[in-house]
Amino acid sequence: MAREIKFSLLYRDMWQSSGKYVPKVHQLKEIAPVIIDMGCFDRVETNGGAFEQVNLLFGENPNKAVREWTEPFNKVGIQTHMLERGLNGLRMNPVPADVRELMYKVKAKQGTNISRSFCGLNDPRNLELSVKYAKSGGMISQVALSITYSPVHTVEYYMGVVDKVVGFGCDEICLKDMAGIGRPAFLGRLTKAIKDKYPHIVVQYHGHTGPGFSVASMLEVARAGADYVDVAMEPLAWGMVHPDIITIQAMLKDAGFLVKEVNMDAYMEARRLTQTFIDDYLGYFIDPGNKQMTSLLVGCGLPGGMMGSLMADLKGFHGAINASLRNQDKKELELNELLVMMFQEVEYVWPKMGYPPLVTPFSQYVKNISLMNLMHTLKGEPRWTTIDKDTWNMILGKTGKLPGKLAPEIVQLAKDKGLEFYTGTPQDAFPNELDRFRKEMKENNWDFGEDDEELFEFAMHERQYRDYKSGIAKKRFEQELEAAKEKAGAPKIVTRPVVEMPKIDVEKILEKYPNAKPIQSPVKGQVIWQYDMADASSAPNLGEKVEEDKTICFVQAFYGIELVKAPISGKIIEICSNHGDRVEKGEIIAFVE
């Protein structure tokens, strides 16, 4: 009898591999019954990743979105799954253990059945709590292996991770081929190795189409024993996204596998609805380049889902780089030339940083360092001049063990800066915080929400949640949408609008904090709280510690980047400028005490 292969629709990832935003809850509720009518899906990826954060950026409640979006699938027995980043939970930086534990309880109550947990470094220590908390919270635990292609990422390497997480009690393994650079034959061998050793473990394959391997990879893993494959559907398929269900269903059917038929009337309706969401407003935030596949990704290995932010960064820095080149009497660069140089720099940087799999957030770290190296070298300055705090945490081992060895110059640079390498369990470096958030919510008379879901959201996305509660987030998104619509005739490059901040009462701040020192902008320009300009979460939290003369943010001037340093060691007590705000020379960005 033919063996069955089942399909999972990545409706969340389809959008977030294409652009910045996802549909709002009323749109998701509209398309859910049509997806069900297609009749070919046993699973749908509904949330996780940046889904909740995006809803906060809309100024809308992400908990309402998850509950209402998962409900119709739960009613008909289609499993829903979410993506979470192990130690980093649903954000880009480490999450305390008590917040991580609450996440699974909340998401299970909201209707999410499966937690797909991955560590960008494939460090089992970061996945142990994901497995245990998911199962105790009532979810199926699926551990995702972050697939990449390097001398250290062998079948034996990955099986070492599998052995550990199966020992923790996980139910399933996903091959998360986030850049689509896993070679098909290798993925087949890895799938067979898992199934031979652990025949009871469900195996699911997830592969982006960027460099073009993933269709062949799906056939290889199916023949090797995989149970599920992740697919997309047009108009959000191929390019940097995933293969369309019709192609994969037809290929596997011809290969002799038992697969469900696709209701084409429902498929065309789901396709039409998705296009209406694009036409409504989401298309303004989709980079046209994400619709294209490129073999250049075979070399640099960057994930398809990151290409939007990469292009936004390059476009943002393009003018500054050319201004610097003009000042040096050198030839200016076209954007495509800059892109190729960026890919080459990633290829240079990646092995020197220990071959971290290029998946969120480590792909951002490698991209950020590559971008800053490119900026510095084009200005005649040395590489590694600017390394941000989160990247140092990765280098020093605070977020997990790197798969490969650091280059000697990186080790020496750390020593020169007096930095110490961390060998403990990563989670131990980030103490519990829920009590702090409970206290503030009580002081603000904020509702903890059903099943403590509002408490969770605040603790997971502190800055975005504050902006959501204050109304700033909704206002910012509306302004951003208006700005995008005005530029609809031009290439859809989204720029951050100026958001009016509350007037700064300096005297009142100094009265409350007599020892406070202002952090002022050295130039006129745009505030950048972190290099990844597509990340709105990068400003520090109130109370975060800073060190004297250490860079805390940047200002993008017309000629390039200016570093903004802390005047004293202390903690942030007031933030006066959002990521993306325009500031004048001397304007106060924050206060530190």
Q: What distance in Å separates the CA atoms of residue 461 and residue 62, rounded to the nearest whole number?
A: 11
Cα separations in angstroms, 361 against 344, 457, 565, 572: 20, 19, 24, 24
Q: Each residue of 95-117: pLDDT tens digit?
A: 999 999 999 999 999 999 999 99
Domain 498-593 class in CATH = mainly beta
In whole angstroms, what is the distance from residue 273 CA to residue 261 CA?
21
275 burial via Cβ count (<10 Å: 0-12, 13-18, 19+): middle
Mapped onto helix, strand or coil, the DSSP state of residue 314 is helix
* Structure confidence at residue 493 (pLDDT): 36
What pLDDT score was predicted for residue 234?
Answer: 95
- CB atoms inside a 10 Å sphere around CB 416: 8
Polymer length of the chain? 593
Q: What is the pLDDT of the chain when averaged over all its residues?
A: 89
Q: Which of 140-144, 296-300, 403-407, 459-463 has the lowest mean pLDDT?
A: 296-300
pLDDT of residue 386: 86
Once rounded to an integer, what is the mean pLDDT over residues 313-332? 81
In the predicted structure, residue 537 carries a pLDDT above the cut 70: no
Residue 142: both structure tokens together: 């699926």
**Where is average pLDDT lowest: 146-155, 297-306, 401-410, 582-591?**
297-306
Percentage of the chain beyond pLDDT 70 is 92
Where along the chain do its domains lie?
A: 294-427, 498-593
Higher pLDDT, 258 or 332: 258
Q: Assign 375 a pLDDT band (cuts: 50, 70, 90).
A: confident
Least confident interval from 133-147, 212-226, 358-372 = 358-372
- Determine the pLDDT at residue 507: 65
The pLDDT assigned to 60 comes to: 96
My answer on whether omega of the bond before 235 falls inside 30° of 0, hence cis, is yes
301 vs 82, higher pLDDT: 82
Higher pLDDT, 8 or 285: 8
The 10s digit of each residue's pLDDT in 390-432 is 889 899 998 899 999 999 999 999 999 999 999 899 999 899 9
**Residue bearing the bigger pLDDT, 320 or 34:** 34
* pLDDT value of residue 223: 98
Half-sphere exposure of 248 (CA within 13 A, CB side): 34
Q: Is the pTM of this model over 0.85?
A: no
| Residue 539 pLDDT | 59
- pLDDT for the residue numbered 500: 44
Burial of 53 per CB tally in 10 Å (0-12, 13-18, 19+): buried
d(CA 279, CA 290): 17
Dump pLDDT digits (tens) for 20-41: 899 999 999 999 999 999 999 9
